[in-house]
Amino acid sequence: MKTRLTLIYIIGIILTAGLILVSCGEEKKEYRIGVSQCSNDDWRNKMNEEIEREILVHPEASVEIRSAEDSNAKQIADIRYFANNGFDIIIVAPNEADAITPVIDSVYRSGIPVVVFDRNVNGHSYTAFQGADNEKIGVLAARYASNLMRGKGSVLELYGLKGSTPAISRHEGFRKELESHPGIKIEASAYGNWKYEDALHLADSLLSVYPDVDCIYAHNDRMAVAASDAARRRKLDPYIIGIDAAPEIGMKAVRDSVIDATFLYPTEGHRLIKTALAILKGEPYDSVAKLPIPSAVDLSNADILLIQNESLKEETSKMKSLKSEIDQYWDRHSAQTTLFYVSIAFVVMLCVLLFFILRAFWLRKGYQETLLRKNEQLASQHEEQKRLNTRLEEATRSKLMFFTNVSHDLRTPLTLIAEPVEQLAGAGNLTPSQKTLMHIADKNVRILKRLLNQILDFRAYENGKLDVNLVETDFGALAKDWVEAFSNVARSRDIKLDIKIEDADLRLAVDEEKIERVVYNLMSNALKYTPANGSVCFSCGREGDKIFFSVCDNGPGIKEEDRKRIFDRFFQVDRVHPKGSGIGLSLTKAFVELHGGEINVESEVGKGSEFKVILPVVHVGVGTESSVAGTDHAAIEAELADVETQEREFSEDKPVILVIDDNEDIRVMLEELLSDKYNVVGASNGREGIRYATRYVPDLVVCDVMMPVMDGLECCRNIKEEISTSHIPVLMLTACSMDEQKVAGYESGADGYISKPFNSAVLRSRIENLLENRRRIKNIWGASHDRSEGDLSKPANGSAERRIVSTDVENEFYARFLKLVESRMGDADMNVDQLASEMGLGRSQLYRKIKALTNYSPVELIRNLRLKRARHLLTTTDRSISEIAYEVGFSTPAYFSKCYREAYGETPTELRSRL
Ligand code: FRU
């Protein structure tokens, strides 16, 4: 990944450098100018040189000159070439107007600027025109000829190309001017097409017809020289006048007396380029530029003009060599610049490469160091782990050793207890209550015995000292017998027990005792975790050459993370509410593995679990056949079945105690312990506890802390917050003895704490204590109505106990009740039902609450309050006794007097007479 990134960086840099180099090497010309010459001759060569000279000083522009070689078709093709190849402007000297006008017209209309020069087109489809006044040239030529001939003589005219505009104009000017020279006559005019060859033949044939002609007027120098050659061949010597004065032909012909005169036809090539660039740059330009006409060139000035031309040529060549030197310099310069940029790019690339190499090196070094550190860390962790493992092993070993020792120590006394307990439990002369207690003892002694045996077996297994005593069995019959022993327990818990034994040969040799323990363990677990109305299924059969049995239930299921560890020793799925020692399943697995078998579990949370044991079929030969020992159903029931509580009636004179504990045995035992002095109600979890507390409003609650559904702390908090139960003392009863847990208990409002295992006498005395306390408090609340006459809303002042118990909830409840009674004081029909519903309680809840708080029933309390108010009014006002009786809600004054005397020992009249 990193190398790929590096490569991308480098390629990016190379591309950028390449682009820089390309852009440095190539100087882009902004303007491209196309020049289409109709012909190729000296006059046009001069013009082309001027064009190229001018372009030298315009580095922003380039020019391409094409010659049509006097062909209309070639010129049309040249113009199209410029238009189609992105030229910015086209400069044209049209060969013949009629033939070239359409293509110029279309190019111009397509948006390309066109400059027409020298020869013209039809119409005005162009951007600018540059040319000389050809008619004027014709006029000047006529005057010059007239001068030569002293106003008298004959002339032959050699015409240019028929369709080219200069030829037409030059003829017109000549003809018109000769009108004012009557002595001169044009003998003949013929088309020489601007060309030497055409003119030579033409002149020859004309001279053969007009040998005496005085002058030949040719529209250009080439045709003039041809006329001269033709005349010389015929030994004739007419005056010959040409036009153009191009140095190489016209001027030289004059200097060499080949012709007599020529008229300078201006080229002005540089001016064309200037006009074109002005058009392209949007600068001002002349749309029609008429060039000046200088005077004739003849023997008097031909020399000097040729010299001038030579020096111009020399200057031009110097300029050209200068330009080429500059170009060479620039080429060198650009090559060096290119080299410079290449070097820079190379250096940059090198730096980048170096950076990445160094970076990779540092990173690698860093990784290596981290790896080294991690390795060291791992090694030390490994060491630590090893140390911890050894220590853990040691701890486990010593724990097991300790368990074994303790188990050994416990086994003898336990056996000594078990026997008498079993006998006593079966005795016929026990009271129901004694019977229940004995059953509990018997059941738990059995559990303890089994636990001890498991621990000892486990230890033996760990030490490899557990023997397997294989005997031949009919496993189907054996398993059926074992499992059926659980039928009663299942029935008593409303659990459906399904037994499926395959009708197959299920004989194999097993250690009966151990496999029975396996079945017992799996079955008792399944029954323990399956709720009422659930089902437990035992199946047994053959799978190939193996025999299997499985126990499934539709209990809560086991979470995946727990499933993996379920066979680990001491592992408990529910550590908060453990239902066993945590070695049952690991011992089960050990027993199965001792038989060379395997045990697996499949489970889904919320659906149930299935434990499956697979045993290899082995046989140990005859003589060791099992006799299918019958299972002790009674023993299983004694251990697993719930001990049934004896039905009792609540008696009115005994306080009610609510016992909330998830352990059925504890509940039953407490009930037995306390039922002589109290009415005991049991609840199996916090939520049920709250329900019962609200329903029965007990005098005291004994509550376990750790329970399923709702724990004791939350349950206690609820009881203390609920108005109908807030006054009830709560005694927490728990196996947790940690101080913080006690603090948490007190914070939830608990009134006392007793740790398990508890001493029944201590428990009784704590209960009695709390109830006595409550009684004293009741007296204080009750007494307050006797003492306080004015303000009914407060109990007696200055009482230490009052401060202890009058919680905010009680105060608020009591104040509300008093306010309600006071507001209805005059209502003789005020009754407890109304008051209870206004207080948000049921009639009996209000009754128990008021009774618990004040020791009075609500009716007694209301009457006391009425009498107290009456006594206050009797002593502080002058109102009549009858008025006061009605005011405080008595239906008749007589009944009021009766009640008053019962309460205060005197009648209202006696009180008044005393005052
Ligand atoms: C050159 C030329 C000149 C003449 C001009 C007229 O091609 O023939 O000799 O003056 O063209 O357009």
Q: Are 863 and 889 in contact (CB under 8 A)?
A: no
Residue nearest to atom 4 of ligand 1 (CA): 220
pLDDT at 791: 42
Q: Can you read off the two tokens belonging to residue 552?
A: 């499934």
Residue among 70, 220, 243, 259 whose CB has most ligand 1 atoms within 8 A, to mutate: 220
Residue among 96, 159, 194 whose CB has most ligand 1 atoms within 8 A, to mutate: 194
pLDDT at 596: 92
Q: Which residues pair with 155 in a beta bridge?
A: 186, 215
* Residue 527 CB partners (closer than 8 Å, separation 6+): 486, 489, 490, 493, 495, 536, 553, 640
Q: In 3D, which of 562, 460, 481, 572 has the Cα closest to residue 523?
A: 481
Q: In 3D, which of 612, 558, 587, 637 has the Cα closest to residue 451?
A: 587
| Residue carrying the six token digits 């190729």 | 40
Distance (Å) from CA 220 to ligand 1 centroid: 6
Q: Are 462 and 404 in contact (CB under 8 A)?
A: no
The 10s digit of each residue's pLDDT in 258-313 is: 999 999 999 999 999 999 999 999 999 999 998 887 789 999 999 999 999 899 88
Distance (Å) from CA 194 to ligand 1 centroid: 6
* Residue 415 CB partners (closer than 8 Å, separation 6+): 449
Residue nearest to atom 7 of ligand 1 (CA): 39
Q: Which residues pair with 541 in a beta bridge?
A: 548
Q: Are 720 and 809 in contact (CB under 8 A)?
A: yes
Question: In the predicted model, what is the mean pLDDT of residues 659-685?
Answer: 87
C-alpha distances in Å from residue 30, one per residue of 24, 27, 58? 16, 9, 10
Distance (Å) from CA 334 to ligand 1 centroid: 43
Distance (Å) from CA 314 to ligand 1 centroid: 25
Band of residue 169 on the pLDDT scale cut at 50, 70, 90: very high
pLDDT at 285: 95
In this structure, is the dihedral angle defined by the CA atoms of residues 794, 798, 803 and 805, taken in order, positive or negative?
Answer: negative
Secondary structure (DSSP) of 58-81: -TTEEEEEEE-TT-HHHHHHHHHH
Return the CA Rg of the chain.
Answer: 67
3-state secondary structure 243-310: EECCHHHHHHHHHCCCCCEEEECCCCHHHHHHHHHHHHHCCCCCCEEEECCCCEECHHHHHHHHHHHH
Question: In the predicted model, what is the mean pLDDT of residues 100-109?
Answer: 97
Nearest-atom number in ligand 1 for the CA of 222 is: 9
- Helix, strand or coil, per DSSP, at residue 796: coil
Q: Indicate the burial class of 737 (C-beta count within 10 angstroms; 0-12, 13-18, 19 or more).
A: exposed
- Helix, strand or coil, per DSSP, at residue 759: coil
CB-based pocket (< 6 A), ligand 1: 39, 41, 43-44, 118-119, 160, 164, 166, 194, 220, 243-244, 265
Residue nearest to atom 6 of ligand 1 (CA): 166
Q: Are 449 and 419 in contact (CB under 8 A)?
A: no
Q: In 3D, which of 616, 680, 677, 625 has the Cα closest to residue 647?
A: 680
Asked if residue 744 has pLDDT above 50, the reply is: yes
pTM of the complete model beyond 0.75? no
Distance (Å) from CA 320 to ligand 1 centroid: 27
Asked if residue 627 has pLDDT above 60, the reply is: no
Phi (first) and psi of residue 813, to 5 degrees: -60, -50
C-alpha distances in Å from residue 319, one per residue of 313, 327, 552? 10, 12, 113
Phi (first) and psi of residue 613, to 5 degrees: -110, 130
The 10s digit of each residue's pLDDT in 24-63 is: 444 556 899 999 999 999 999 999 999 998 998 898 999 9
Nearest-atom number in ligand 1 for the CA of 43 is: 1
The 10s digit of each residue's pLDDT in 673-693 is: 888 889 888 888 888 888 888
Q: How many CB atoms lie within 10 A of CB 881?
A: 19
Question: In the predicted model, what is the mean pLDDT of residues 883-911?
Answer: 89
Distance (Å) from CA 252 to ligand 1 centroid: 17
* Residue 679 CB partners (closer than 8 Å, separation 6+): 648, 650, 651, 654, 655, 656, 657
Structural domains in the chain, sorted by start: 31-132+267-291 (3.40.50.2300), 134-265 (3.40.50.2300), 467-640 (3.30.565.10), 656-758 (3.40.50.2300), 775-914 (1.10.10.60)
The 10s digit of each residue's pLDDT in 221-268 is: 999 999 999 999 999 999 999 999 999 999 999 999 999 999 999 999
Nearest-atom number in ligand 1 for the CA of 70 is: 7
Residue nearest to atom 9 of ligand 1 (CA): 220
Residue among 225, 244, 248, 263 whose CB has most ligand 1 atoms within 8 A, to mutate: 244
- CA 344-347-352 angle, 5° bins: 125
Nearest-atom number in ligand 1 for the CA of 244 is: 10
Distance (Å) from CA 789 to ligand 1 centroid: 146
Nearest-atom number in ligand 1 for the CA of 39 is: 7
